Chains A and B, each alone.
Chain A
Amino acid sequence: TPKEKKPTQSKARLKNVDRSSATYHSVTVNDMTVVITEFKPKVKKEKKEKKE
């Protein structure tokens, strides 16, 4: 029997971010505090330049 494909989790997930280096900040407005997680973009691997 064909395997059912699992639906992609969290459809609205950011791509190309480094989740391992997330920073967390709490912000309070009118006695309501929320935590905001900030991600850095993934660093693109630089291609090695040929030395002449």
Chain B
Amino acid sequence: NDSGPGSSATQELEIVFKLHPKMLENKEVIEAIKESSTRYIKTTSKALVEHLCKYLAMRISLDFSPVKKETHTTPSSSSGGVGTNSTGMTSSVKDLTIFISPSPGQMVELTPNMSLKGVNEKYWMVNKPMEMLYAFHRH
């Protein structure tokens, strides 16, 4: 059992992404992504904030596309998926920023090169899934 407390091994982190409150003023955004504005993901603690930014930008841009493509991959086709599309950042979503709220009323913008392990240790000391907020601009 190498996943005991204090283990420095790579672990998986589960995160809830919610739309940043300032985005709620943008009706176009709300209309496009209303059902999927909250996202539930799991990834390795080695992942960088930039991985999450890239992923979210791609997924959100699909919500904005005129013809919504169902790009969901099944567990059996885990290799590949939309993430392998290196042009993901050229989507209609730009400047996607992720924030974390370590305490009520406090919001910290996360730097892209920070690992999730670092984020977890620095800002999220509680035993529950990390909660992050995201905001973006559109082209």
Contact = CB atoms under 8 A, between A and B. Distances in A.
Nearest to A15: B129
A13 B48 CA distance: 20
Contact of B42 (A32, A39, A40, A41): A39
A25 B81 contact: yes
Contacts of A17: 40
A26 B54 CA distance: 11
A11 B38 CA distance: 21
Interface string B34-55: 0000111111101110111011
Contacts of A28: 83-84, 86
Given A23-B81, A37-B42, A14 B14 contact: yes
A26 B42 contact: no
B13 interface: yes
A6 to B, nearest CB: 13
Interface stretch (B72-80, B91-99, B100-108): B72-80
Interface residues of B, number: 36
Nearest to B5: A7
B22 interface: no
A36 to B, nearest CB: 5
Helix, strand, loop or mixed for chain A's interface? strand
Nearest to B74: A23
Contact of A25 (B13, B14, B55, B128): B55
Contacts of A24: 73, 75, 77-78, 81
Contacts of A35: 43-44, 78
A34 B46 contact: yes
B73 A12 contact: no
B87 interface: no
Interface of A: 11-14, 17, 22-30, 32, 34-41
14 contacts: A12-B127, A12-B129, A14-B40, A17-B40, A22-B42, A23-B75, A23-B81, A25-B73, A26-B81, A27-B47, A27-B83, A34-B44, A34-B47, A36-B52
